[in-house]
Amino acid sequence: MKSVPLSILSLSLVGLLAPSTFAGPDEHTHDHAHEHAHHDEAHPSLKDLLPPMNKPDLWIGSEAPDMTIAKYLKGEAVGAFDPDHTYVVEFWATWCGPCIAAFPHLSELQEQYDGDVTFIGVNIWERTEGDERMNQVERFVENQGDRMGYTVAIEDGTSMATNWMRPAGQNAIPAAFIVQEGKIAWMGHPMALDGTLEAIAEGEYDIEHAAKQAWDERIAQAGVQTFHGALCAEDWDKALELGEALANEMFSDNAGSLNMIAWYALSSEDAPQSIQSFALRSAAQACKLTDWKDWMALDTYARGMFVTGDSNSAVKFQKKAIELAKQDERVNEEILSQLRETLDEYEH
């Protein structure tokens, strides 16, 4: 496998199952995009190609476990969850940089939803125990001041990690759970709470739909990992089946994810024509979904053209990718330099 390409940056911009925005008619459709359109023939489903997957014991829709707290350091103690109130239970540790970075955002959300949502930051996974842990965490929280403008607590022993994190299959912090009507309504990174809280506040949140969507995302993530593994192992037949299932079943309307799997395929050395053609089809679909105006998708499509032998088209679309990248405020000179080096490769 080659080094991680520029277009993998799309992973930081688009969720695996978040639909792309279609900007209008495809005025820039290139002949090769039609030529390499997705096949309509039947393929095995992604679930059929993956090992059996079981949902965690604690999942969206499950009854929320009890709060087992040794001490509340800020805010009022929370006993049983009020079914008419919404809660955010967030897990953190003093040594966790991303946890600390999320404190101000949680404080802003607590202020925004004051009276309707109670935020509870629960300390877990500390490297000290007993009184030493209690004193350390108390000092830490006191020093944070208004950065932690919500209820803060220390778990009783390891009970919260054991009863919440472990059965939910959550292996990293920070991690947050939304509790609505006494049930787990959502789980994920605390920086991604906003949309779900807004939907709950507006009465538009459907827990059953959220549970299905979250499980589909788990399957998609497993599919991407297995697809990448098959490419690394040069198991081309398996990779192609997995890639087609991902592109047609999971990512048909997701430009960022199509772009990602296309780059994985194009970064595989010695890949056969079947893999290269699959990558080009996926890249073309990503370009169509973004109306041929996303530089990362165009960069991928240009690579696909190059590896399949159409250097003229590769040059054309790489130039367009560079022009669009210049208009993207997230793109620095280093990235532009890499794009120009790639163009030079195609021209020579």
Query: pLDDT tens track of the chain, all 348 residues?
Result: 444 455 444 444 444 554 433 333 333 444 444 444 444 456 788 989 998 888 999 999 999 999 999 999 999 999 899 999 999 999 999 999 999 999 999 999 999 999 999 999 999 999 999 999 999 999 999 999 999 999 999 999 999 999 999 999 999 999 999 999 999 999 999 999 999 999 999 999 999 999 999 999 989 999 999 999 999 999 999 999 999 999 999 999 999 999 999 999 999 989 999 999 999 999 999 999 999 999 999 999 999 999 999 999 999 999 999 999 999 999 999 999 999 999 999 998
Evaluate whether 6-38+211-347 and 69-205 have a shared fold.
Answer: no
Domain 6-38+211-347, CATH among 3.40.640.10, 3.40.1280.10, 1.25.40.10, 2.40.40.20:
1.25.40.10
Going from N- to C-terminal start, the domains of the chain cover: 6-38+211-347, 69-205
**The residue to which tokens 């893999």 are assigned:** 275
Give the span between the Cα atoms of 58 and 12, in whole angstroms: 27
CA nearest to 105, candidates 189, 180, 168: 189
pTM for the full model?
0.72
Query: What is d(CA 276, CA 308) in angstroms, rounded to the nearest whole number?
Result: 7
Amino acid at 283: A
Q: How far is CA 167 from CA 66, 155, 161, 170, 315, in A?
A: 13, 16, 9, 8, 51
Superfamily of domain 69-205: Glutaredoxin (3.40.30.10)
What count of other Cβ atoms lies within 10 Å of the Cβ of residue 55? 14
Q: Where are the beta strands (DSSP E) in 148-210?
A: 151-155, 175-180, 183-188
